[in-house]
Amino acid sequence: MKTPTRRVEPAHVRVVRVGHGANCSSIGSVVDTLFLAGLAGGAVYAALMAAFAEEPIHVVNAPPVEAPKDPDEERA
């Protein structure tokens, strides 16, 4: 059984808000806030982990390192 559709009369509308999520319910605002807080927290966490990360350096096929020469030996 289909419910009959009614036309919305201007007299029945109290307020129409403009902007992102302006006419949504309170739970919609809470979900938006939780989503943004989770996103910001994840970004801060990723930035901190990247800043404090330590990774060993492995050089593959590096040229041999020569011992530093003594400047006194070169003069002789």
* Tokens linked to 64: 């041999």
Per-residue CA distances from 49 to 38, 39, 40, 57, 73 (Å): 16, 15, 14, 18, 49
Nearest Cα neighbor of 33 from 21, 49, 45, 51 is: 21
Residue-level pLDDT at 13: 84
User: What's the pLDDT tens digit per position in 28-50?
Assistant: 778 888 999 999 999 999 999 99
pLDDT at position 22 over 70: no
The answer, yes or no, to whether residue 20 has pLDDT greater than 70, is no
Environment class of 43 (CB within 10 Å of its CB; exposed 0-12, middle 13-18, buried 19+): exposed
Tokens (6 digits) for 41? 């927290």
**pLDDT of amino acid 37:** 96
- pLDDT tens digits, 52-71: 988 888 888 888 878 777 76
Phi first, then psi, for residue 57 (nearest 5°) are -100, 125
